[in-house]
Chain A
Amino acid sequence: MPDGIYFIKNEDFTDYLNSLIKKYRVYATKRVGNDVVFDYIESGSEFVDERSVLSPKNIIFPAWKNLNESENNQEIIVFGIRSCDLSGFNIMETVLKFDIEYNKRRDHIHFANFICTEPCKYGFCTTFEGVRLKEFGAQFLKYKNGYIVEIKDNIFMSNLFKEVSQDMVEFLNSYNDYFSKLMVPLNVKGIENKIKWEDEIWDELAKKCISCGACNYACPTCFCFDINENSYERIEEWDSCIMEGFTRMAGNINPRPSLSSRLRQRFMHKLSYHYLTYGIHLCSGCGRCFESCPVSIDIRDIIRRYNR
């Protein structure tokens, strides 16, 4: 049997999580009211295998942080993240890896992602990496009376794991292809060169957009931050390229003065610039941007516009 692939039965699952909780802080999906959110859990039974309302970006890249305070870097397990969110974080890392503080934090965070069993309303992850990832700590796929587990990070190992069968391995290996039939990928081939700078679409979108910045905050790949200071703290916080002040310079000079130019920047960055620089699109296909958009601006429409 191949290395690093195991099986865990449903009846062992809570015990498995409890064994992790004993040793580490576990930040996992749990239900609060009607919502599924990320929070530290005390017991394995709190965990739910569902997509959270927001990605756990805050844990790996805090929304607000006082740079004068040192971080308490204890080991944290992030359990139950969807593949799309983790894939987004991996993409974000192409840039954030140049930040020493980020790397220190990242070394102590261990991700266990869950592969979706059915397409969600907003996602189009098959367009990019797909539901089964290459980079993870542990990866879980529901299979009959349990989960197939892929392990890359030994922190997740357990003696509750069983051996996998040939069927399971085949199921796992063919899973991305299978899922692409359920969720047909969009064609992004060559989009980095096809997307147009001069296009009426940017003005059209600007008429709708109310520049709230929710797309940036919800996106698992958006890494822009701003640093500001006052007399007693130095704050790093998430920023949004939709805001006018994002590129405003001294003397009120702004290279992106209009909302349409800022929207264009956002989509150009997602679909073209990042690819041309790092060889990967700055999008994991999670769909969180248009899920959170109050006026439903849909990145899929932009992709379809240039690639039918």
Chain B
Amino acid sequence: MKRPLIKDERGNFKETDWETAINLTTSRLLEISEKYGPDSLAFQASAKCTNEDNYLMQKLARQVFHTNNVDHCARSCHASTIEGLITSFGSGAMTTSIKDIDNAELYFVIGSNTTEQHPIIGSRIIKNKYEGKTLIVADPRKIKLAEIADIYLRHYPGTDLALLNSMAYVIISKDLYNKEFVEKRTENFEEYKKVIENYDPDVASRITGVDPEYIEKAAILYATKRSIIFYAMGITQHVQGTENVQAIANLALLTGNVGRKGTGVAPLRGHNNVQGSSDMGALCDFLPGYRRVYDDEGRRIFEEAWNCKLPSKPGLSLTEMFEYALEGKIKAMYIMGENPVLSEPETDKIIEALEKLEFLVVQDIFMTETAKFADVVLPSYSFAEKIGTFTNTERRIQLIKPFLNPPGESKSDWEIIQMIANAAGYSWNYLTSEDIMNEISKLVPQYSSITYNCLEETGGLQWPVKNCQGTEILHTEKFTRGLGKFLPSEWKRPLEFWDSQYPFILTTGRIYYQFHTGVMTRKVYLLEREAPEPYVEINTDDAKVLGIKNNEKILVETRHGKLCVKARITENVPKGILFMPFHYVEAPANVLTNPNLDPKAKIPELKVTGARVGKCQTESTL
């Protein structure tokens, strides 16, 4: 896209100049805000954009439009990590560093297909494994790491909490826990012990489907070695996502496997900047630097800095924004660099919600599936065309520089946002993205004193940063919140599980060659060649019973939707489980998925949806 686009009465996009597009956007947003109140607007930031872009996006929502309705895709991947780790440790990020992987003796990978989704970290684990380190993998799917693992725990989807609690049971009952650490550095241990008592491996085995002996072995190994736990969406995308994350933190606290070299809890982030965009407060319940919006003290800092009154009520999360739009309570949306039509659960409802809006503005590098529904489309720079900072999975803030010339009249995301703020009568005057970072470094303690110069010289720094010095390992002396807190929870049966009507569990995920909704990767010939079409993985035995042939199109149906997709018969998934990648617009897996939310983190349960399989009735059954 080279110029801003405006949709005419007939629904066709017409090119226009920036002034017209910005004025239209601003006046419509203001109008709607005036008519229906500020909370009728919703803003979506993006984990693909820089820290500076995201910071301004949430500032636009909060300062200019007086609403906390600003959120982004971290909601659908690691909101439970932020919530879970902040309550346990005080800081919602990877506690260790990528380099530190080499110092560990054991890797416990749960709910992460590391080699496909985080190949840099995955290959580091493989390398270390071949040098004699221990590897434990827990995943319903037989992922690549499972093949070389010392112990492979194949638990049912949605039973992670029972598995983790049971490992804790073994560690406590065998007296393998780190008493000194528990005593000096943690609190709430007694409460924890009480809950854990219910998770004898025999009991857990009935819930998880894992041999009790394996649970025991894994627990003993984990407790007796310097260990790092890696996890990703397999842990977070559940109704009990926050509890899952806390259970992982509990295990680390119990064994003292945190805050030292070669130990830690490592949530693996998906987007290049999902850590940074969360740090920047592009979340409906957090201000920059993870100050809660309802925390008066935190709000005051920003009210003083921005010279305005800030709303104290948490805004709507990503998924809720669409619900509210459906109900007619959200009237306008401003979406930057996201493609919710493909990435959010229940696609049909998302589309309905977008159509119902009075005004939609989408800011992206390409004409996405979402942008097609917009009234105004604003073309922005890709990562290759702009300057700014990204914060990666190990909290490393890195400077990026342009190496391509931007197409046509497109602009930096932050510039566009500033134009809107200016048009709305606010005198923002950032001349460069560094000006924005200077403001961030004053207001966000983790980013204190950061300058582009010092990022350039050091090649990137891990937050918290002080005087141009990063922090490799968090929580070494004390936890960010003081003491580490044991937060026990009971396992609950997922809201949708195997039943007579829906005898399969559908779980979704990503594949090596495609990235998220494929906005970028599906345009790359070789990547698209490697993974050109959607499919659903089904176990060999299930396929035999149902008479399904490999590559045959089958109907996958859930309570939320149905679609036809090619079957891929494999041993990678166990009996009773279906797996589907969500990248494809031709068969968007999220038509099917479960929109039930984790009540704390508001993350949808994308990993466990009751499903059934049937014959595809459409004419093309190729």
Residues in A lying within 8 Å of B, measured CB to CB: 207-208, 210-212, 226, 228, 235, 237, 239-240, 243-245, 248, 252, 294-296
Contact call B123/A210, Cβ cutoff below 8 A: yes
Q: In this assembly, does B8 line the interface, its C-beta being within 8 Å of a C-beta of chain A? A: no
Contact B526 A226 (CB under 8 A): yes
A290 to chain B, nearest CB (A): 12
- Contact partner of B127 among A212, A228, A294, CB < 8 A? A294
Further 17 A-B residue pairs, CB within 8 A, beyond A211-B512, A245-B530: A207-B144, A208-B126, A210-B119, A210-B122, A210-B123, A226-B526, A228-B529, A237-B525, A240-B526, A245-B526, A245-B529, A248-B529, A252-B551, A294-B120, A294-B124, A294-B126, A295-B127
Within 8 A of A (CB), among B511-526: 512, 525-526
A contact residues around B115 at 8 Å (CB): 210
The answer to whether the Cβ of B130 comes within 8 Å of any Cβ in the partner chain is yes
Q: Which of A208, A226, A244, A296 has the most CB of B within 10 A?
A: A208
B residues contacting A by CB (< 8 A) are 115-116, 119-120, 122-124, 126-127, 130, 144, 147-148, 512, 525-526, 529-530, 532, 551
Query: Inside 8 A of A243's CB, which chain B residues have their CB?
Result: 526, 529-530
Is the pair A244, B530 in contact by a Cβ cutoff of 8 Å?
Answer: yes
Residues A210 and B526 in contact in the complex (CB < 8 Å), given A252-B551, A294-B120, A295-B123: no
Q: Main SS of chain B's interface residues?
A: helix
Instruction: List, in ascending order, chain A residues with CB within 8 A of B525's CB.
Output: 226, 228, 235, 237
Please name the residue on chain B nearest to A244 by beta carbon: B530
> Can you list 20 A-B contacts (CB < 8 A)?
A207-B148, A208-B148, A210-B115, A210-B123, A228-B525, A228-B529, A235-B525, A237-B525, A237-B526, A240-B526, A243-B529, A245-B526, A245-B529, A245-B532, A248-B529, A252-B551, A294-B120, A294-B127, A295-B123, A296-B127
CB distance from A209 to the nearest CB of B (A): 9
Among candidates A237, A248, A295, residue contacting B126 with C-beta atoms closer than 8 Å: A295
- Are the CB atoms of A239 and B123 closer together than 8 Å? no
> What is the distance, in angstroms, from A233's C-beta to the closest C-beta of chain B?
10
A294/B119 contact (C-beta < 8 A), A228-B525, A235-B525 known: yes
Interface centre among B119, B120, B526, B532 (most CB of A within 10 A): B526
Contact B526 A239 (CB under 8 A): yes
**Least Cβ distance of B481 to chain A in Å?**
36
- When C-beta atoms are compared, the residue in chain A nearest to B119 turns out to be A210
| Chain B CB within 10 A, most for which of A240, A245, A248 | A245
Give the Cβ gap from B391 to chain A, nearest Cβ, in Å.
Answer: 21
Q: How many angstroms between the C-alpha atoms of A296 and B124 in the bound complex?
A: 10
A212 CB to nearest B CB, Å: 6
B residues less than 8 Å from A296 (CB atoms): 127, 130
Q: In the complex, how many angstroms separate the beta carbon of B107 from the nearest chain A beta carbon?
A: 14
Q: Hey, which chain A residues are within 8 Å of B127, CB to CB?
A: 294-296
Q: What 4 pairs across the A-B complex have the smallest Cβ distances?
A: A294-B123, A245-B529, A228-B525, A245-B530
* Distance in Å: Cβ of A147 to nearest Cβ of chain B: 34
Bound-complex Cα distance A77 to B564 (A)? 56
B116 CB contacts on chain A under 8 angstroms = 210
B88 to chain A, nearest CB (A): 32
Complex CA–CA separation, A294 to B532 (angstroms): 25
In whole Å, how far is B479's beta carbon from the nearest beta carbon of chain A? 33
Name the B residues within 8 Å of A210 (CB-CB): 115-116, 119, 122-123, 126, 144
| In the complex, chain A residues whose CB is within 8 Å of the CB of B530 | 243-245
Which of chain A's residues have a CB closer than 8 A to the CB of B120? Answer: 294
The minimal Cβ–Cβ distance linking A243 to chain B, given in whole angstroms, is 6
